[in-house]
Amino acid sequence: MSAALAGVSVLVTGGSGFVGHRIVQMLLEEEDDLGELRIMDKTLSAPLLHICERFQRKVKLLEGDVRDTEFLTRACRGVDLVIHTAAIIDPTGHISQETMMSINLHGTERLLECCVQSNVWFFIYTSSIEAVGPNTSADPIVNGHEELVYESTLGFCYGESKQLAERAVLRANGRELQNGGSLVTCSLRPTYIFGEGSQFLQLHLDQALQNGGVFHRISKKEALANPVYVGNVAWAHVTAARAMKDPATARKIAGHVYYVCDDTPHMSYSDLNHALGRELGLGVERRLAMPYPLLYLLASIMEVASFLLRPFFRFVPPLTRHLLILLNTTFTFSYKKAHRDMGYKPRYSWEVARRLTSAWMASILPQRREELKIR
Protein backbone atom coordinates (compact mmCIF):
# COMPACT_ATOMS: atom_id res chain seq x y z
CA MET A 1 0.00 0.00 0.00
CA SER A 2 2.78 2.44 0.96
CA ALA A 3 5.99 3.34 -0.83
CA ALA A 4 9.28 2.29 0.72
CA LEU A 5 11.54 4.98 2.19
CA ALA A 6 14.09 5.10 -0.63
CA GLY A 7 16.33 8.15 -0.25
CA VAL A 8 14.52 9.42 2.86
CA SER A 9 16.78 10.80 5.59
CA VAL A 10 15.43 9.88 9.04
CA LEU A 11 16.09 11.09 12.58
CA VAL A 12 15.02 8.75 15.40
CA THR A 13 15.04 10.36 18.84
CA GLY A 14 15.32 8.10 21.88
CA GLY A 15 17.20 5.58 19.78
CA SER A 16 18.59 3.77 22.82
CA GLY A 17 15.13 3.26 24.30
CA PHE A 18 12.99 0.14 24.37
CA VAL A 19 10.90 1.21 21.37
CA GLY A 20 13.44 3.49 19.69
CA HIS A 21 16.15 0.88 19.21
CA ARG A 22 13.61 -1.57 17.71
CA ILE A 23 12.54 1.10 15.22
CA VAL A 24 16.20 1.66 14.32
CA GLN A 25 16.73 -2.08 13.87
CA MET A 26 13.63 -2.42 11.69
CA LEU A 27 14.59 0.54 9.50
CA LEU A 28 18.05 -0.96 8.94
CA GLU A 29 16.61 -4.39 8.18
CA GLU A 30 13.69 -3.31 5.98
CA GLU A 31 14.86 -0.20 4.14
CA ASP A 32 17.89 -1.03 1.97
CA ASP A 33 17.74 2.29 0.12
CA LEU A 34 17.11 4.50 3.15
CA GLY A 35 18.95 7.82 3.10
CA GLU A 36 21.03 8.83 6.09
CA LEU A 37 19.77 7.44 9.40
CA ARG A 38 20.45 9.68 12.37
CA ILE A 39 20.02 8.19 15.82
CA MET A 40 19.78 10.50 18.78
CA ASP A 41 19.72 9.92 22.53
CA LYS A 42 21.13 11.49 25.65
CA THR A 43 23.27 8.36 26.08
CA LEU A 44 23.89 5.85 23.29
CA SER A 45 23.52 2.33 24.68
CA ALA A 46 25.68 -0.71 23.94
CA PRO A 47 22.76 -2.65 22.35
CA LEU A 48 22.10 0.26 19.98
CA LEU A 49 25.78 0.49 19.00
CA HIS A 50 25.81 -3.28 18.40
CA ILE A 51 22.83 -3.00 16.04
CA CYS A 52 24.48 -0.19 14.08
CA GLU A 53 27.73 -2.17 13.73
CA ARG A 54 25.85 -5.02 12.05
CA PHE A 55 24.83 -2.85 9.09
CA GLN A 56 27.16 -1.15 6.63
CA ARG A 57 24.88 1.82 6.17
CA LYS A 58 24.99 5.56 6.45
CA VAL A 59 24.30 5.91 10.17
CA LYS A 60 25.04 9.03 12.23
CA LEU A 61 25.02 8.76 16.03
CA LEU A 62 24.12 11.88 18.01
CA GLU A 63 24.40 12.28 21.77
CA GLY A 64 22.33 15.15 23.09
CA ASP A 65 19.28 16.37 24.98
CA VAL A 66 15.85 17.25 23.58
CA ARG A 67 15.96 20.33 25.81
CA ASP A 68 18.95 21.69 23.86
CA THR A 69 17.60 23.79 20.97
CA GLU A 70 20.99 24.29 19.33
CA PHE A 71 21.63 20.55 19.34
CA LEU A 72 18.16 19.82 17.93
CA THR A 73 18.70 22.32 15.13
CA ARG A 74 21.90 20.55 14.06
CA ALA A 75 20.22 17.15 14.35
CA CYS A 76 17.28 18.16 12.13
CA ARG A 77 19.22 19.92 9.39
CA GLY A 78 18.91 17.94 6.13
CA VAL A 79 16.39 15.45 7.57
CA ASP A 80 13.13 14.49 5.82
CA LEU A 81 11.42 12.51 8.60
CA VAL A 82 11.58 12.65 12.41
CA ILE A 83 10.37 9.71 14.51
CA HIS A 84 10.15 11.11 18.04
CA THR A 85 10.23 8.39 20.69
CA ALA A 86 12.38 10.18 23.30
CA ALA A 87 10.54 10.58 26.62
CA ILE A 88 10.73 9.89 30.32
CA ILE A 89 8.36 7.09 31.36
CA ASP A 90 7.64 7.18 35.08
CA PRO A 91 4.57 5.40 36.50
CA THR A 92 5.57 5.86 40.15
CA GLY A 93 6.36 9.56 40.60
CA HIS A 94 10.13 9.33 41.04
CA ILE A 95 10.68 12.09 38.46
CA SER A 96 9.63 15.65 39.33
CA GLN A 97 6.81 17.28 37.39
CA GLU A 98 9.17 20.04 36.21
CA THR A 99 11.63 17.54 34.71
CA MET A 100 8.85 15.45 33.18
CA MET A 101 7.26 18.43 31.44
CA SER A 102 10.59 19.91 30.33
CA ILE A 103 11.46 16.71 28.44
CA ASN A 104 8.16 15.18 27.35
CA LEU A 105 6.27 18.38 26.51
CA HIS A 106 8.71 21.26 26.03
CA GLY A 107 11.33 19.03 24.37
CA THR A 108 8.69 17.97 21.85
CA GLU A 109 7.69 21.58 21.23
CA ARG A 110 11.32 22.55 20.64
CA LEU A 111 11.80 19.65 18.26
CA LEU A 112 8.70 20.61 16.27
CA GLU A 113 9.95 24.18 15.93
CA CYS A 114 13.34 22.93 14.73
CA CYS A 115 11.57 20.76 12.16
CA VAL A 116 9.76 23.80 10.78
CA GLN A 117 12.95 25.86 10.63
CA SER A 118 14.91 22.97 9.04
CA ASN A 119 12.28 22.02 6.43
CA VAL A 120 11.56 18.54 7.84
CA TRP A 121 8.58 17.17 5.91
CA PHE A 122 7.26 14.44 8.22
CA PHE A 123 6.94 13.96 11.98
CA ILE A 124 5.75 10.79 13.77
CA TYR A 125 5.17 11.03 17.52
CA THR A 126 5.24 8.04 19.87
CA SER A 127 2.43 8.78 22.29
CA SER A 128 0.78 6.44 24.81
CA ILE A 129 -2.67 5.28 25.88
CA GLU A 130 -1.90 7.14 29.11
CA ALA A 131 -2.47 10.32 27.11
CA VAL A 132 -6.12 9.21 27.32
CA GLY A 133 -6.37 7.50 30.70
CA PRO A 134 -7.62 5.67 32.67
CA ASN A 135 -9.19 8.69 34.33
CA THR A 136 -9.44 9.27 38.07
CA SER A 137 -12.91 7.67 38.09
CA ALA A 138 -11.48 4.42 36.64
CA ASP A 139 -14.04 4.43 33.81
CA PRO A 140 -13.36 1.41 31.57
CA ILE A 141 -12.92 1.34 27.79
CA VAL A 142 -13.61 -1.84 25.80
CA ASN A 143 -12.27 -1.99 22.22
CA GLY A 144 -12.00 1.78 22.14
CA HIS A 145 -11.47 3.80 18.97
CA GLU A 146 -9.89 7.18 18.23
CA GLU A 147 -13.21 9.06 17.95
CA LEU A 148 -14.46 7.84 21.34
CA VAL A 149 -15.24 10.71 23.74
CA TYR A 150 -13.71 9.84 27.12
CA GLU A 151 -13.71 12.05 30.20
CA SER A 152 -9.95 12.28 30.42
CA THR A 153 -9.39 13.65 33.93
CA LEU A 154 -5.81 12.46 34.34
CA GLY A 155 -4.32 12.17 37.78
CA PHE A 156 -0.66 11.74 36.97
CA CYS A 157 2.06 13.86 35.42
CA TYR A 158 3.31 11.33 32.84
CA GLY A 159 -0.08 10.97 31.17
CA GLU A 160 -0.61 14.73 31.20
CA SER A 161 2.80 15.35 29.63
CA LYS A 162 2.08 12.87 26.83
CA GLN A 163 -1.40 14.29 26.27
CA LEU A 164 -0.14 17.86 25.98
CA ALA A 165 2.79 16.84 23.74
CA GLU A 166 0.45 14.90 21.47
CA ARG A 167 -1.79 17.94 21.12
CA ALA A 168 1.23 20.04 20.16
CA VAL A 169 2.19 17.49 17.50
CA LEU A 170 -1.30 17.43 15.98
CA ARG A 171 -1.56 21.25 16.05
CA ALA A 172 1.73 21.43 14.15
CA ASN A 173 0.31 19.47 11.23
CA GLY A 174 0.15 21.73 8.19
CA ARG A 175 2.56 24.35 9.55
CA GLU A 176 4.38 26.16 6.76
CA LEU A 177 8.05 25.27 6.45
CA GLN A 178 10.79 27.74 5.59
CA ASN A 179 10.89 26.44 2.00
CA GLY A 180 7.14 26.92 1.50
CA GLY A 181 6.15 23.29 2.04
CA SER A 182 4.05 22.07 4.96
CA LEU A 183 4.75 19.72 7.86
CA VAL A 184 2.83 16.42 8.03
CA THR A 185 2.40 14.97 11.53
CA CYS A 186 0.66 12.04 13.17
CA SER A 187 0.65 10.43 16.60
CA LEU A 188 0.77 6.72 17.47
CA ARG A 189 -0.65 5.57 20.81
CA PRO A 190 0.69 2.11 21.71
CA THR A 191 -1.04 0.15 24.44
CA TYR A 192 1.12 -1.50 27.14
CA ILE A 193 4.30 -2.65 25.37
CA PHE A 194 6.01 -5.95 26.19
CA GLY A 195 8.93 -7.78 24.65
CA GLU A 196 12.65 -8.39 24.89
CA GLY A 197 14.42 -5.71 26.89
CA SER A 198 11.36 -4.39 28.75
CA GLN A 199 12.50 -2.82 32.03
CA PHE A 200 9.03 -3.25 33.51
CA LEU A 201 8.97 -6.95 32.63
CA GLN A 202 12.44 -7.40 34.14
CA LEU A 203 11.22 -5.68 37.32
CA HIS A 204 8.28 -8.08 37.56
CA LEU A 205 10.61 -11.00 36.91
CA ASP A 206 12.91 -9.88 39.74
CA GLN A 207 9.94 -9.60 42.09
CA ALA A 208 8.77 -13.08 41.11
CA LEU A 209 12.21 -14.56 41.79
CA GLN A 210 12.22 -12.90 45.22
CA ASN A 211 8.71 -14.26 45.81
CA GLY A 212 9.64 -17.92 45.36
CA GLY A 213 9.07 -18.00 41.61
CA VAL A 214 5.58 -16.50 41.73
CA PHE A 215 4.54 -13.21 40.13
CA HIS A 216 2.77 -10.82 42.48
CA ARG A 217 -0.88 -10.27 41.64
CA ILE A 218 -0.84 -6.55 40.80
CA SER A 219 -4.11 -6.46 38.82
CA LYS A 220 -7.46 -8.17 39.09
CA LYS A 221 -8.01 -10.96 36.60
CA GLU A 222 -11.05 -9.21 35.17
CA ALA A 223 -9.17 -5.92 34.58
CA LEU A 224 -8.36 -6.52 30.92
CA ALA A 225 -5.67 -4.76 28.91
CA ASN A 226 -4.57 -5.49 25.36
CA PRO A 227 -0.76 -5.59 25.49
CA VAL A 228 1.22 -5.06 22.29
CA TYR A 229 4.55 -6.60 21.29
CA VAL A 230 7.42 -4.16 20.82
CA GLY A 231 8.19 -5.51 17.35
CA ASN A 232 4.67 -4.62 16.21
CA VAL A 233 4.99 -1.13 17.68
CA ALA A 234 8.19 -0.61 15.69
CA TRP A 235 6.50 -1.96 12.56
CA ALA A 236 3.61 0.50 13.03
CA HIS A 237 6.11 3.37 12.97
CA VAL A 238 7.70 2.10 9.77
CA THR A 239 4.24 1.63 8.25
CA ALA A 240 3.28 5.19 9.18
CA ALA A 241 6.53 6.53 7.69
CA ARG A 242 5.90 4.74 4.41
CA ALA A 243 2.32 6.02 4.35
CA MET A 244 3.53 9.59 4.84
CA LYS A 245 5.81 9.36 1.81
CA ASP A 246 2.90 8.29 -0.39
CA PRO A 247 0.78 11.42 -1.15
CA ALA A 248 -2.44 9.37 -1.32
CA THR A 249 -2.08 7.96 2.20
CA ALA A 250 -0.32 11.04 3.62
CA ARG A 251 -3.55 13.01 3.20
CA LYS A 252 -5.43 10.38 5.21
CA ILE A 253 -3.12 10.25 8.21
CA ALA A 254 -2.04 13.91 8.39
CA GLY A 255 -2.99 15.35 11.77
CA HIS A 256 -4.47 12.10 13.03
CA VAL A 257 -3.88 9.88 16.05
CA TYR A 258 -3.81 6.07 15.94
CA TYR A 259 -3.99 3.34 18.55
CA VAL A 260 -1.32 0.71 18.06
CA CYS A 261 -2.01 -2.78 19.34
CA ASP A 262 -1.97 -6.30 17.92
CA ASP A 263 -3.62 -9.70 18.35
CA THR A 264 -2.23 -10.44 21.81
CA PRO A 265 -5.17 -11.81 23.85
CA HIS A 266 -6.81 -9.33 26.19
CA MET A 267 -5.72 -10.14 29.75
CA SER A 268 -4.70 -8.44 32.97
CA TYR A 269 -1.14 -7.23 33.46
CA SER A 270 -0.52 -9.97 36.02
CA ASP A 271 -1.82 -12.67 33.72
CA LEU A 272 0.39 -11.36 30.91
CA ASN A 273 3.41 -11.79 33.19
CA HIS A 274 2.29 -15.35 33.90
CA ALA A 275 1.65 -16.14 30.23
CA LEU A 276 5.20 -15.01 29.40
CA GLY A 277 6.83 -16.77 32.36
CA ARG A 278 4.79 -19.97 32.57
CA GLU A 279 7.23 -22.03 30.51
CA LEU A 280 10.02 -20.92 32.85
CA GLY A 281 8.19 -22.50 35.76
CA LEU A 282 6.89 -19.20 37.15
CA GLY A 283 3.45 -18.94 38.71
CA VAL A 284 1.17 -16.05 39.64
CA GLU A 285 -0.74 -15.25 42.81
CA ARG A 286 -4.45 -16.01 42.65
CA ARG A 287 -5.68 -12.72 44.09
CA LEU A 288 -4.58 -9.24 45.12
CA ALA A 289 -2.67 -8.94 48.40
CA MET A 290 -5.75 -7.33 49.94
CA PRO A 291 -9.18 -6.23 48.67
CA TYR A 292 -9.02 -3.39 46.14
CA PRO A 293 -10.76 -0.79 48.40
CA LEU A 294 -8.17 -1.40 51.12
CA LEU A 295 -5.33 -1.07 48.62
CA TYR A 296 -6.84 2.21 47.43
CA LEU A 297 -7.02 3.47 51.03
CA LEU A 298 -3.41 2.42 51.64
CA ALA A 299 -2.27 4.24 48.49
CA SER A 300 -4.16 7.36 49.61
CA ILE A 301 -2.49 7.29 53.03
CA MET A 302 0.96 6.94 51.46
CA GLU A 303 0.29 9.87 49.13
CA VAL A 304 -0.75 12.04 52.10
CA ALA A 305 2.40 10.98 53.96
CA SER A 306 4.50 11.88 50.92
CA PHE A 307 2.92 15.36 50.83
CA LEU A 308 3.40 15.98 54.58
CA LEU A 309 7.03 14.82 54.50
CA ARG A 310 7.94 16.89 51.43
CA PRO A 311 9.46 19.81 53.41
CA PHE A 312 11.86 17.38 55.08
CA PHE A 313 12.72 14.73 52.48
CA ARG A 314 11.33 13.18 49.30
CA PHE A 315 9.27 10.04 49.97
CA VAL A 316 8.03 8.33 46.79
CA PRO A 317 5.15 5.96 47.60
CA PRO A 318 5.63 2.45 46.19
CA LEU A 319 1.91 2.44 45.41
CA THR A 320 -0.23 5.38 44.26
CA ARG A 321 -3.91 5.68 43.45
CA HIS A 322 -3.02 6.36 39.82
CA LEU A 323 -0.90 3.22 39.50
CA LEU A 324 -3.58 1.13 41.22
CA ILE A 325 -6.25 2.46 38.86
CA LEU A 326 -4.01 1.97 35.83
CA LEU A 327 -3.38 -1.67 36.70
CA ASN A 328 -6.97 -2.49 37.62
CA THR A 329 -9.13 -0.78 34.99
CA THR A 330 -10.28 -2.53 31.83
CA PHE A 331 -8.72 -0.49 29.02
CA THR A 332 -8.68 -2.07 25.56
CA PHE A 333 -8.50 -0.63 22.04
CA SER A 334 -8.74 -1.48 18.35
CA TYR A 335 -6.19 -0.87 15.58
CA LYS A 336 -8.85 -0.77 12.83
CA LYS A 337 -8.20 2.89 11.99
CA ALA A 338 -4.45 2.29 11.58
CA HIS A 339 -5.24 -0.65 9.31
CA ARG A 340 -7.73 1.38 7.28
CA ASP A 341 -5.65 4.53 6.83
CA MET A 342 -2.06 3.29 6.63
CA GLY A 343 -2.36 -0.45 6.06
CA TYR A 344 -0.95 -1.44 9.46
CA LYS A 345 -1.17 -5.14 10.26
CA PRO A 346 0.78 -6.80 13.09
CA ARG A 347 3.92 -8.47 11.79
CA TYR A 348 4.36 -10.78 14.79
CA SER A 349 1.65 -13.14 16.02
CA TRP A 350 0.95 -13.57 19.73
CA GLU A 351 2.62 -16.97 19.73
CA VAL A 352 5.78 -15.65 18.12
CA ALA A 353 5.84 -12.61 20.42
CA ARG A 354 5.31 -14.82 23.48
CA ARG A 355 8.05 -17.24 22.41
CA LEU A 356 10.59 -14.48 21.71
CA THR A 357 9.84 -12.69 24.98
CA SER A 358 9.95 -15.89 27.04
CA ALA A 359 13.28 -16.82 25.46
CA TRP A 360 14.69 -13.42 26.44
CA MET A 361 13.41 -13.87 30.00
CA ALA A 362 15.07 -17.30 30.14
CA SER A 363 18.33 -15.80 28.89
CA ILE A 364 18.52 -13.25 31.71
CA LEU A 365 17.35 -15.57 34.50
CA PRO A 366 20.86 -16.69 35.59
CA GLN A 367 22.10 -13.10 35.78
CA ARG A 368 19.00 -11.93 37.68
CA ARG A 369 19.33 -14.81 40.18
CA GLU A 370 23.00 -14.00 40.67
CA GLU A 371 22.42 -10.29 41.21
CA LEU A 372 19.49 -10.95 43.54
CA LYS A 373 21.48 -13.65 45.40
CA ILE A 374 18.80 -16.26 44.75
CA ARG A 375 19.73 -19.93 44.44
3-class SS letters over 131-156: HCCCCCCCCCEEEECCCCCCCCCCCC
Q: Quote the CA–CA distance of 255 and 234 in Å, as a whole number.
A: 20
In the DSSP assignment, the letter for residue 296 is H
Residues 316 and 92: beta-carbon distance below 8 Å? yes
Compute the CA torsion angle 322, 105, 45, 282 (nearest 10 deg): 20
Residues 139 and 152: beta-carbon distance below 8 Å? no
**3-state secondary structure (DSSP) of residue 35:** coil
Q: Quote the CA–CA distance of 22 and 32 in Å, as a whole number.
A: 16
Which of the residues 125, 158, 258, 335 is marked catalytic? Answer: 158
**3-state secondary structure (DSSP) of residue 267:** strand
* Known catalytic membership, residue 158: yes
Sign of CA dihedral 2, 4, 7, 12: positive
Whole-angstrom Cα Rg for the chain: 21
Q: Quote the CA–CA distance of 41 and 19 in Å, as a whole number.
A: 12
Catalytic residue numbers, as ranges: 158
